[in-house]
């Protein structure tokens, strides 16, 4: 394994340039998928390097799950191919999948069996699995004390963690996780995110599909944002920022404050965010905003950064009509398209 960079202060690994002396674990080459006139994935090119926790981000319906199914050889591409290490998919699917762990949509288990027995049986489908390794992965995902419990008694979050344990059991070169926090309560989401973050600290290469920008920002070092089957931006997560930064403004007279700020900044830069006004203004403009409001006799009660909203706006800038896209769904798996 190649040498990995030291961790940053927040426990994440920094994002070196793709291919800068690092082995490419996963790549796609003009990967395309059409479904009866609908282009779900459009000439996709991406590279995931060894040690990346790589975010695959986009609104629902962007083509993420279709892409993952092609990477795993579950459906044939219309054009192009994926490559895992030195093996092309779909041509060398079986050789490629020996280096991959993960799940699409939700992990599937036998509810009447214990977690340990599930890992033993499912793991042996791909090779021998020692009891020591089963103990190790259960400990990694925080299920050691429940390893002998029936999976049917597990919460949704525990099943997600068990799915990650199964993905790790053969020490794959690449772990693919498709929306691993989907349907979880806040504590379950936090647990899974911390687990993915820990995999990154250990140098495991992870391909994480999500529609949650904040999730990708917390755990990934590199990412692409995809919309309507195409990549619209990619690079280090630290550089995925909106063109404009937003602040939240609270005053004693919000309607008048909005008028003053719109005259200063423009109509599209001030919106009603409920209790606060949301204003597109970097640090350099904040003092002038405050001066204008005070000069107009308006009490300024708070001006605070709107980091979450800024990241969301960046996502909307890149993906266009996100409301429409979020109502679309991934094309369901067509059995007639499956690889034999």
Give me the domain span that covers residue 223. Answer: 24-240
Let me know whether 222 and 255 are in one domain: no
Q: What are phi and psi of 254, to 5 degrees?
A: -65, -40
Domain assignment present for residue 206? The answer is yes
Judged by average pLDDT, the poorest of 42-46, 51-55, 206-210, 284-288 is 284-288
Let me know whether 153 and 259 are in one domain: no
Let me know whether 254 and 233 are in one domain: no
Domain assignment present for residue 42? The answer is yes
Domain assignment present for residue 332? The answer is no
- The pLDDT > 90 percentage for the chain reads 50
Let me know whether 204 and 281 are in one domain: no
Domain assignment present for residue 137? The answer is yes
Let me know whether 31 and 139 are in one domain: yes
pLDDT digits (tens, 9 = 90+) for 248-278: 899 999 999 999 999 998 888 898 877 889 8
Q: What burial class does residue 2 get, using C-beta atoms within 10 Å of its C-beta: 0-12 exposed, 13-18 middle, 19+ buried? A: exposed
Full-model pTM: 0.71
Let me know whether 282 and 226 are in one domain: no
Let me know whether 171 and 314 are in one domain: no
List of residues 6+ apart from 265 with CB closer than 8 A: 279, 280, 281, 285, 289
Structure token digits, residue 20 = 């800068």
Let me know whether 169 and 84 are in one domain: yes
Let me know whether 109 and 145 are in one domain: yes
User: Given 191, 217, 240, which residue is the final one in a domain?
Assistant: 240
Let me know whether 117 and 197 are in one domain: yes
Let me know whether 149 and 293 are in one domain: no
Residue scoring higher pLDDT (230 or 21): 230
Domain assignment present for residue 330? The answer is no
Domain assignment present for residue 227? The answer is yes
Tell me what pLDDT residue 259 has: 94
Domain count for the chain, please give it. 2
User: Given 240, 260, 295, which residue is the final one in a domain?
Assistant: 240
Domain assignment present for residue 305? The answer is yes
User: Given 218, 240, 262, which residue is the final one in a domain?
Assistant: 240
Tell me what pLDDT residue 297 has: 95
Let me know whether 166 and 105 are in one domain: yes
pLDDT digits (tens, 9 = 90+) for 55-106: 998 888 889 999 999 999 999 999 999 999 999 999 999 999 999 998 887 7
């Amino acid at each position: 394994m190649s040498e990995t960079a030291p961790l940053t202060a927040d426990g994440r690994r920094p994002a070196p340039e793709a291919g800068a002396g690092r082995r490419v674990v996963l790549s796609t080459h003009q990967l395309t998928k059409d479904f009866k006139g609908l282009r779900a994935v459009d000439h996709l090119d991406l590279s995931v390097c060894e040690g990346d926790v790589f975010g695959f981000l986009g609104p629902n319906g962007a083509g993420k799950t279709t892409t993952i199914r092609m990477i795993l050889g579950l459906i044939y591409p219309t054009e192009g191919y994926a490559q895992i290490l030195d093996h092309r998919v779909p041509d060398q699917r079986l050789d490629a999948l020996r280096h991959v762990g993960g799940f699409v949509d939700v992990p599937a288990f036998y509810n009447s069996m214990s977690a340990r027995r599930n890992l033993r049986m499912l793991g042996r489908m791909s090779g021998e699995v020692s009891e020591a390794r089963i103990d190790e992965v259960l400990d990694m995902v925080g299920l050691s004390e429940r390893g002998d419990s029936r999976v049917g008694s597990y919460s949704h979050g525990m099943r997600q963690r068990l799915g990650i344990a199964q993905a790790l059991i053969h020490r794959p070169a690449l772990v693919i996780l498709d929306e691993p926090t989907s349907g979880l309560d806040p504590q379950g989401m936090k647990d899974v995110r911390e687990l993915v973050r820990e995999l990154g600290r250990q140098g495991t290469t992870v391909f994480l599909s999500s529609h949650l920008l904040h999730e990708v920002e917390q755990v990934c070092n590199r990412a692409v944002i995809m919309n309507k089957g195409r990549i619209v931006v990619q690079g280090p997560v630290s550089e995925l920022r909106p063109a404009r930064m937003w602040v939240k403004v609270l005053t004693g007279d919000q309607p008048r404050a909005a008028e003053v700020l719109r005259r200063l900044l423009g109509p599209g830069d001030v919106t009603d965010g409920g209790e606060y006004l949301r204003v597109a203004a970097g640090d350099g403009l904040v003092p002038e905003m405050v001066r204008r409001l005070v000069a107009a006799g308006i009490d300024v009660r708070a001006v605070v950064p709107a980091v979450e909203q800024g990241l969301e706006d960046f996502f909307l800038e890149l993906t266009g009509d996100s409301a429409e896209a979020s109502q679309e769904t991934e094309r369901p798996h067509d059995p007639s398209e499956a690889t034999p």
